[in-house]
Every structure is written in structure tokens, then in C-alpha cells.
């Protein structure tokens, strides 16, 4: 432990990347009753990562429909709302049982809002940042019915969506894909328009460009640091090891603090290791992300991010490659201060089971 603390104390800043605290939000459009229901929290559709699905029923419309505050994919409340402008004639949330869809696929794709005319859906209350937007807009009753989807401000063009679900989730068939950057306080807007017959909207997923977060938090909350909050570690990308798309994020750190990520295949609890004012949530053989460019500065936002190579997970005896079924636990160690004196602190832990 003293060696680890010494490494942190003598490290120099390496230009760490700061992230906004952007939520991942899933929305199912369709009736809770009289339809196919709402997908389970294990279901991720085209995003691959499961999470909580908010339900928006277009049957409950006035001139404008504003959702209650939405929950993120972990089920935690956010300040984000979804507004439908109410334009166009609405047939409402309708269920059509289509070939090849069952279970959660049916819950997302077979009950949808049929909207006769151009219409707009707007997310308000998002933190500024760059988001991936997946808009499910396939008519369940006929593959020839197409809906046009556009996201103002995105470099990605408007896209017609429609076809046969039997090939699974495919861009241009089941959904449109857009990437868009929004400023703090700026709305993220989705425009849909008729290409043929009715507009159809099955659901929406939006998440930071690094992907929706996943994993199971444990040993939290962490001890409050000098920022006034406990540090929080999360992971984004995908748990599919062969795709090697995995990013570690730690937020709510002190500003301009140096820190790095830790990893172990064992959980544990060590109070105040090496004189830290926080608690280490890992046990067993602990690896350190302290290679070139891996000791990061939290900057003004108090956040760090590290794209991690799943073929080179550090351990005390060398590198390990993640394989399906492997379980790894991650945490963060960072500089902090206590009563004006230099100290260190930790985030809570996050457990990831790779597929």
C-alpha cells in the first residue's frame, strides 16, 4: 500500500480528460396496459447494455405531452424530461404483433406511437456533452411503412427507418443512429416525419458517446472528499470482452487532483490504507493503471476518464486478458486534502462481469 501511495504522490500531471456527468436514458413508447408492456432492465436492444426503461404513453396526450422526470438506466431519478409537441394526428399507442419478435423485443418494437404528421420530441435538462441517439421508428404492421428521423445539430443525415424485424436490430431497419453535441441547458431534439403511411415511434435510447454505463456498484458511498461529495467510479462501453470497448470514469473528485484506477478480481475492505482518509474496496492481487498516460488530472470538473485495454488488465505479476465469465472489480485512488494537509482518498468500487 505504501508503494502505491508513493507512486501517486510523486506522479506528474498527464493531461487527463474530463467528462460531463452525462446520463444514459432509455424510453419505451407504448401503452403499459393493452400493449406488449415495458422491456426488462436486463434488455439493451441495439445498445447491448441493459437498463431501466421509462414508459411514455402517447394515449395520454394534450396539445403537448411532458413526461415526469426520467430515470437513468440504473433506475436513479434525473432532472431530464421528454416533451412531445403534440403536432399531427395521433392514433395513439397501438399494438401490432409482428413476425420474429418476442419478449423484450416485442415490448419495445410491437407497441408504438402512430403519429400522422411531422412531430418533435425534445429532451430537456441534459448536462452538456456529446450523445449517441438511437431512435426506434419501425412500423410493426408493414415493412413498407417508413418513418424519417432527424436530429438537428447532428452531422448524421436524416434517416428513413422501416422494414422486417427478423434480421434483428439494424440501423435503417429498426432504428436511426445519430451523434449530437448539446450545450448545458440546450435541448436535444428528435424530429420525425412521414415518409410513407404513418410515423411510428417505438422508443429512444440516448447515452454519452462512450456508451451507456454498466456494472454493479459496491462498497459505497465512498468517504466524502474535499470536493464535498464522495467520488464515484463507473464504466462505459460494452461488457463484451472481444469488442474491447471499455472506459473507466471517475467523477466527483477534487478539482485538479491526480489519480489512477485500480483493479482486482477480489472485493475487500481496508480502512485508511497508507494513511488515506478513504477506504479501499478491493482485496487480493490489486493491479494499478499507472503506465504512460494513465495517471490522470481531474481538471476543473473533478473527473477523469481512461479507455482501458481489456487484453492488458494490470496485475502485480503482469497483464491479464479479460474473457467471457471473468469478474473484475475497479476503484480509483486520488490525491485529496484533509484539514489543509495532503492526503488521499478512494471512490467506491464497481464490479463488471464480462461476456
pLDDT for residue 320 is more than 70:
yes
Find the DSSP H helices in the chain.
2-10, 103-109
3-state helix vs strand vs coil in the chain, percent to 5: 10, 40, 50
Of 28 and 49, the one with more pLDDT: 28
pLDDT for residue 20 is more than 70:
no
pLDDT in tens, 127-136: 888 899 999 9
pLDDT of residue 86: 66
Spatial separation of the C-alpha atoms in residues 350 and 355, rounded to whole Å: 16
Q: What average pLDDT does the structure give for the chain?
A: 83
pLDDT of residue 15: 29
| 37-63 residues labelled b (16+ CB within 10 A) or e (exposed) | bbbeeebbbebbbbbbbbbbbbeeeee
pLDDT of residue 304: 93
Range of weakest confidence among 54-63, 107-116, 266-275? 54-63
pLDDT of residue 16: 31
Instruction: Write the DSSP assignment of 226-267 as a string of letters.
Output: TTSS--EEEEEE-S-GGG--EEEEEESPPTT-EEEEEEESEE
Are the CB atoms for 11 and 54 separated by under 8 Å?
Answer: no
pLDDT of residue 117: 66
Q: Is 264 exposed, middle or buried (0-12, 13-18, 19+ CB in 10 A)?
A: buried
Spatial CB neighbours of 119, under 8 Å, sequence gap ≥ 6: 84, 85, 86, 87, 88, 191, 192, 193, 199
DSSP-derived secondary structure letter, 62: S
pLDDT of residue 9: 32
Q: Which domains does the chain have, with CATH numbers?
A: 2-19+212-353 (no CATH), 25-208 (2.60.120)
pLDDT of residue 255: 92
pLDDT of residue 10: 31
pLDDT of residue 59: 63
- CA 354, 349, 238: angle at the middle one, nearest 5? 30
pLDDT in tens, 219-273: 989 999 999 999 999 888 878 888 888 999 998 999 999 999 999 999 999 999 9
Report yes or no on whether pTM surpasses 0.85: no
Using CA atoms, how far residue 43 sits from 50, 197, 289, 325, in Å, is: 4, 30, 31, 19
Task: Tell me the pLDDT band of 60, cut-offs 50, 70 and 90.
Answer: low
Nearest residue to 291 (alpha-carbon basis) of 255, 260, 257: 260
pLDDT of residue 18: 33
pLDDT for residue 319 is more than 80:
yes
What mean pLDDT is predicted for residues 65-87? 84
pLDDT of residue 3: 32
pLDDT for residue 12 is more than 60:
no
Hey, which residues does 177 pair with through a beta bridge? 134
pLDDT in tens, 145-199: 888 999 999 999 999 998 888 888 899 999 999 999 888 889 999 998 877 667 7
pLDDT for residue 94 is more than 80:
no
Are the CB atoms for 334 and 276 separated by under 8 Å?
Answer: no
pLDDT for residue 50 is more than 70:
yes
Task: Tell me the pLDDT band of 122, cut-offs 50, 70 and 90.
Answer: very high
pLDDT in tens, 267-316: 999 999 988 999 999 999 999 999 999 999 999 888 999 999 999 999 99
- Cα dihedral 31→32→33→35 (10° resolution): 50
Amino acid at each position: 500500500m505504501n508503494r502505491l501511495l508513493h507512486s501517486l504522490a510523486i506522479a506528474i500531471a498527464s493531461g487527463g480528460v474530463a467528462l460531463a456527468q452525462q446520463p444514459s436514458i432509455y424510453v419505451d413508447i407504448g401503452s403499459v396496459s393493452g400493449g406488449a408492456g415495458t422491456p426488462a432492465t436486463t434488455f439493451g436492444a441495439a445498445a447491448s447494455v441493459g437498463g431501466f426503461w421509462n414508459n411514455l404513453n402517447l394515449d395520454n396526450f394534450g396539445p403537448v405531452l411532458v413526461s415526469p422526470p426520467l430515470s437513468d438506466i440504473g433506475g436513479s431519478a434525473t432532472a431530464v424530461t421528454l416533451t412531445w409537441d403534440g403536432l399531427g394526428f395521433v392514433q395513439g399507442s397501438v399494438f401490432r404483433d409482428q413476425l420474429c419478435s418476442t419478449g423484450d423485443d416485442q415490448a419495445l418494437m410491437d407497441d408504438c406511437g402512430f403519429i400522422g404528421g411531422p412531430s418533435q420530441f425534445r429532451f430537456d435538462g441534459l448536462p452538456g456533452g456529446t450523445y449517441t441517439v438511437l431512435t426506434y421508428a419501425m412500423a410493426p404492421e408493414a415493412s413498407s411503412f417508413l418513418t424519417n428521423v432527424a436530429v438537428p445539430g447532428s452531422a448524421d443525415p436524416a434517416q428513413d427507418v422501416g422494414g422486417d424485424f427478423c434480421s434483428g436490430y439494424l440501423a435503417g431497419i429498426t432504428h436511426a443512429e445519430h451523434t449530437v453535441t448539446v450545450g448545458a441547458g440546450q435541448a436535444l431534439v428528435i424530429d420525425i416525419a412521414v415518409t410513407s403511411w404513418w410515423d411510428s415511434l417505438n422508443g429512444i435510447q440516448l447515452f454519452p458517446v462512450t456508451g451507456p454505463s454498466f456494472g454493479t456498484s459496491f462498497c459505497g458511498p465512498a468517504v466524502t472528499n474535499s470536493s464535498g461529495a464522495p467520488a464515484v467510479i463507473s464504466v462505459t462501453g460494452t461488457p463484451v470482452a472481444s469488442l474491447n470497448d471499455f472506459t473507466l470514469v471517475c467523477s466527483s473528485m477534487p478539482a485538479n487532483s491526480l489519480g489512477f484506477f485500480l483493479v482486482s478480481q477480489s472485493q475487500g475492505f481496508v480502512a485508511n490504507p497508507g494513511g488515506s482518509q478513504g477506504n479501499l474496496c478491493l482485496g487480493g492481487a490489486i493491479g494499478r493503471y499507472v503506465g504512460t498516460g494513465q495517471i490522470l488530472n481531474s481538471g476543473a470538473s473533478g473527473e477523469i476518464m481512461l479507455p482501458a485495454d481489456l487484453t492488458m488488465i494490470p496485475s502485480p505479476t503482469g497483464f491479464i486478458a479479460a474473457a467471457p465469465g471473468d469478474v473484475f472489480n475497479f476503484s480509483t485512488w486520488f490525491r485529496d486534502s484533509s484539514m489543509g494537509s495532503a492526503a488521499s482518498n478512494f471512490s467506491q468500487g464497481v464490479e463488471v462481469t464480462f461476456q
